[in-house]
């Protein structure tokens, strides 16, 4: 088995990824075009209902004296202060790859795509928790519980779901990403995301706009108790049409064992009912670690050289997409 090498070039402010199959232009919303004083944020209080970066528009709502919906942007660096007064800081204390600016979204935030991205494929974005949510889940506060509970065994989770519109209609297609997950049998594997991690949206196919929905296992009489905020950077549109939209399939049909693993992993495709399989393994930053095509029902992967951590096994075939987490011990 051979790893396919990808070459990345910067061309006129755009990114071109060259592989053995295709060349695709991408436009990245880095948010560095947005003016901020050091260690500050914009939440719409000074006026303005939206802001733009790259080929995307990010609506904002400010009413009643507070940020009530949509997006804000920030370069705040406080990753240690707990509570809602530190609502505009990322848990990383900095933007992706050391950049200054990043954005914050809350429940129901939407992104609208401009020409030339509208109606085309979105590659994805980097995400992490805000400091407010991360510390709330780690320690608990007056509203949210400590994830895992006193015993550490409570199966808590905090999830971001991204849904798409196309042609003015919200479809059933979605991508899910866990910002925190305490459902593992082994508590050592429980995590709260505090680094920038890549979320792949290419499986949604062609997109006009996106909606971001937060959900949590910690729910009370008035709804979700976990602070409903998250941080985003480098929102990336690929600016190309998908000729055959790929749809998310039932991930329970994909079997990977053993998992967690130390050396050899078997990927069982027998229940997928797809042909012409394209398998890729990516790390949490979206970097392709391994890629191959196969017509076999069982694929063996040697992960002995992988660093310990979380990876994702992605399967595409017959316009269907399957994805499952792999833990390397």
211-225 tens-digit pLDDT: 999 999 999 999 999
Helix, strand, or coil (residue 18)? strand
Give Rg (Cα) of the chain: 20
Question: How far is it, in rounded angstroms, from Cα 160 to Cα 229?
Answer: 10
Percent of the chain's residues with pLDDT above 90: 66
The answer to whether the CB of 132 falls within 8 A of the CB of 229 is yes
Tally the residues of the chain: 329
Mean local confidence (pLDDT), 236-250? 69
The answer to whether the CB of 48 falls within 8 A of the CB of 60 is yes
Percent of the chain's residues with pLDDT above 70: 89
Give the CB-side neighbour count of residue 176, counting CA atoms within 13 A. Answer: 17
Cis? peptide before 297, omega within 30° of 0? no
Residue 23 has pLDDT above 80, yes or no: no
**Which runs of consecutive H residues, i.e. helices, occur in 78-159?**
131-139
Task: Please work out, in degrees rounded to the nearest 5, the angle formed at the alpha carbon of residue 198 by the alpha carbons of 230 and 97.
Answer: 85
pLDDT band at 242 (very low <50, low <70, confident <90, very high): low
Cis? peptide before 258, omega within 30° of 0? yes
pLDDT band at 128 (very low <50, low <70, confident <90, very high): very high
Q: What is the dihedral of CA 87, 90, 91, 92, to 10 degrees?
A: -160
257-272 tens-digit pLDDT: 999 999 999 999 888 8
pLDDT band at 171 (very low <50, low <70, confident <90, very high): confident
176-198 tens-digit pLDDT: 999 999 999 999 999 999 999 99
Question: How far is it, in rounded angstroms, from Cα 247 to Cα 175?
Answer: 10
How far the first Cα of the chain sits from its last, in Å, is 22
Distances in Å between the alpha carbon of 280 and those of 78, 124, 286, 321? Answer: 36, 16, 10, 11
**Higher model confidence: residue 10 or residue 27?**
27
**Higher model confidence: residue 305 or residue 273?**
305
Mean local confidence (pLDDT), 39-68? 93
pLDDT band at 286 (very low <50, low <70, confident <90, very high): low
Contacts of 313 (CB under 8 A, 6+ apart): 254, 256, 267, 279, 280, 281, 301, 323, 324, 325, 326
Query: Average per-residue pLDDT in the chain?
Result: 87
DSSP state of 294: E
pLDDT of residue 103: 98
pLDDT of residue 192: 97
Domain range annotation of the chain: 24-237, 249-328
Give the CB-side neighbour count of residue 253, counting CA atoms within 13 A. Answer: 15
CATH class for the domain made up of 249-328: mainly beta
Q: What is the dihedral of CA 166, 169, 51, 53, to 10 degrees?
A: -10
Mean local confidence (pLDDT), 101-122? 94
Residue 13 has pLDDT above 60, yes or no: no
Residue 243 has pLDDT above 60, yes or no: no
pLDDT of residue 22: 36
Question: How far is it, in rounded angstroms, from Cα 297 to Cα 284?
Answer: 26
24-237 and 249-328 agree in CATH topology: no
pLDDT band at 54 (very low <50, low <70, confident <90, very high): very high
Residue 7 CB-density burial (10 A; 0-12 exposed, 13-18 middle, 19+ buried): exposed
CA 244 remoteness from chain centre: 23
pTM: 0.70
Q: For the domain 24-237, what is the CATH superfamily, name and number?
A: Protein of unknown function DUF4465 (2.60.120.1350)
């Amino acid at each position: 088995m051979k790893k396919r090498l990808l070459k990345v070039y910067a061309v006129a402010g755009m990114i071109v990824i060259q592989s053995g199959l295709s060349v695709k232009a991408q436009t990245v919303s880095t948010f560095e075009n947005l003016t901020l004083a050091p260690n500050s944020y914009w939440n719409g209080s000074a006026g303005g209902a939206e802001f733009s970066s790259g080929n995307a528009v990010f609506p904002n709502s400010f009413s009643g004296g507070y940020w009530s919906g949509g997006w804000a942007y920030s370069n705040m660096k406080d990753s240690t202060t707990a509570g809602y007064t530190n609502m505009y800081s990322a848990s990383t204390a900095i933007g992706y790859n050391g950049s200054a600016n990043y954005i914050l979204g809350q429940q129901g935030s939407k992104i609208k795509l401009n020409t030339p991205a509208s109606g085309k494929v979105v590659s994805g974005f980097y995400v992490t928790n805000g400091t407010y949510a991360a510390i709330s889940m780690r320690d608990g506060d007056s509203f949210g519980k400590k994830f895992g509970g006193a015993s550490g065994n409570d199966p808590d989770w905090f999830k971001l779901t991204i849904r798409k519109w196309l042609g003015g209609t919200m479809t059933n297609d979605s991508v899910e990403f866990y910002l925190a997950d305490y459902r593992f049998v082994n508590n050592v594997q429980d995590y709260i995301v505090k680094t920038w991690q890549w979320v792949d949206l290419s499986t949604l196919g062609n997109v006009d706009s996106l909606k971001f929905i937060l959900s949590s296992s910690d729910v009370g009489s008035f709804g979700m108790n976990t602070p409903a905020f998250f941080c985003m950077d480098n929102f990336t549109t690929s600016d190309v049409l998908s000729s055959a939209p790929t749809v998310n399939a039932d991930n329970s049909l994909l079997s990977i064992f053993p998992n967690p693993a130390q050396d050899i992993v078997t990927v069982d495709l027998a229940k997928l009912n797809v042909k012409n399989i394209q398998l890729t393994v990516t790390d949490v930053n979206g970097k392709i670690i391994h890629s191959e095509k196969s017509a076999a029902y069982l694929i063996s992967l040697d992960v002995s050289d992988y660093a310990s951590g979380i990876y994702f096994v992605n399967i595409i075939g017959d316009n269907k997409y399957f994805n499952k987490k792999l833990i390397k011990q």
